Amino acid sequence: MKTIRIIPRLDIKGPNLVKGIHLEGLRVLGKPKQFAQFYYEHGADELFFQDVVASLYGRNNLNHLIEEMAKDIFIPITVGGGIRTLNDIENLLKSGADKVAINTAGVANPSFLKEASLRFGSSTIVGTIEAIKSTPSSYYAFTDNGREETGLEVVTWAQRMQDLGVGELVLTSVDKEGTGKGFDVDLIKNVVNAVSIPLIIHGGAGSINDFETLLEETSIDSIAAASVFHYETIKHINFEEHDFLVEGNLDFLKSGKELLSHKPVLITKLKDYLVRKEYNCRRND
């Protein structure tokens, strides 16, 4: 039986961890290092950091953050956002990243994916797909956090990236992302049936039941999620308002409200539940 990988996704804007819906409307939830350390200590299998404004500004700004994380966190770290050159990849790997996730630059120049895979190895290069439903049976890939159309049909693009040497794919349903309404199983099945490389699913998790449904209805064994973990973790982390003077929407963080669209859960509790359902998970016992 395959081991299920549970991967918190941390969207980073400037110095802050942020979260939105459909990859937009970002609100500050805290400091990424605090969340990352908490996830590491509570059973995360990997961490996925995404600089959500990197492609907009043409650079990834996470090197220093990843360097700090790698000192105390000893699970695989994937970093995405604004990676445009082989030098960008090399710098992130030197900072402590294990894998890099590429979207915009791969769409603009598919040969970049091949060059990166040949130089750094397929296991290091992750292709990301931001999928939006176009018709009841078709999905298209977008870039820049779901803002820019590519004209690429999702299954065709997933197969192309596999052929170019990408070793893993992250598939995000932009329609479902941040909503807590469950995963887009039709989208997932389409891509699962088309590629043989590992697939990480992201977008839609709102409760433990959503994870179980996805595992029951597909052959997926790797799931990335944000809100369903962040809004539980926030209860366990202390913050001071002066820590967030640089930028960001602090209204939710200061309000003390809970997210009504989700039933947040700790990773340890999720894994305990999945094990009871006879799924194989790594646990910190």
Task: For 137-173, write each residue's pLDDT tens digit.
Answer: 899 999 987 788 999 999 999 999 999 999 999 999 9
Q: Which two structure tokens, joined as six digits, stand for 76?
A: 């695989």
Q: What is the pLDDT of residues 166-224, one digit of tens each?
A: 999 999 999 999 999 999 999 999 999 999 999 999 999 999 999 999 999 999 999 99
d(CA 210, CA 11): 21
Is residue 129 within 8 Å of 105, Cβ to Cβ? no
pLDDT at 53: 80
Is residue 261 within 8 Å of 206, Cβ to Cβ? yes
What percentage of the chain has pLDDT greater than the value 90?
Answer: 75
Is residue 1 within 8 Å of 40, Cβ to Cβ? no
Q: Which two structure tokens, joined as six digits, stand for 192?
A: 């699962």
Domain coverage including residue 95: 3-281
Q: What is the pLDDT of residues 33-62, one digit of tens each?
A: 999 999 999 999 999 999 988 755 555 678
Q: Is the pLDDT of residue 131 over 70?
A: yes
CATH number for 8: 3.20.20.70
DSSP 197: S
Q: Is the pLDDT of residue 247 over 60?
A: no
Is residue 97 within 8 Å of 50, Cβ to Cβ? no
In three-state secondary structure terms, 152 is strand
Cα angle 244, 128, 63 (rounded to 5 degrees) comes to 40
How would residue 249 be classed by pLDDT, with cut points 50, 70 and 90?
A: low
Q: Which of 45, 46, 130, 210 is catalytic?
A: 130
Q: What is the pLDDT of residues 97-113, one digit of tens each?
A: 999 999 999 999 999 99
Q: What is the pLDDT of residues 9-40, one digit of tens each?
A: 999 988 889 988 887 767 888 889 999 999 99
Q: Which two structure tokens, joined as six digits, stand for 243?
A: 């820590």
List CB contacts of 234: < 8 A, sequence separation 6 or more.
29, 30, 253
pTM for the full predicted model: 0.93
pLDDT at 60: 64
d(CA 211, CA 216): 9
Which helix or strand (DSSP H or E) is residue 234 part of? none
Q: What is the pLDDT of residues 219-244, one digit of tens each?
A: 999 999 999 999 999 888 877 655 65
Q: What is the pLDDT of residues 71-90, one digit of tens each?
A: 999 999 999 998 999 999 99
pLDDT at 147: 84
Which of 141, 168, 139 has the alpha carbon at shortest distance from 152? 141
Q: Which two structure tokens, joined as six digits, stand for 99?
A: 């894998």
Tokens 């590629």, located at residue? 195
Which of 172, 164, 181 has the alpha carbon at shortest distance from 203? 172
Q: Is the pLDDT of residue 285 over 70?
A: no
Whether residue 130 lies in the annotated active site: yes
Q: Which two structure tokens, joined as six digits, stand for 155?
A: 């299954």
Q: What is the CB-side half-sphere exposure of residue 1 using CA atoms within 13 A?
A: 10
Which of 40, 79, 43 has the alpha carbon at shortest distance from 60? 79
Whether residue 210 lies in the annotated active site: no
Beta bridge partners, 127, equal: 102, 169
Number of domains in the chain: 1
Which of 179, 192, 189, 259 has the alpha carbon at shortest distance from 225? 179
d(CA 66, CA 229): 20
Count CB atoms within 10 A of the CB of residue 134: 12
In three-state secondary structure terms, 43 is coil
Count CB atoms within 10 A of the CB of residue 217: 13
Q: Is the pLDDT of residue 256 over 70?
A: no
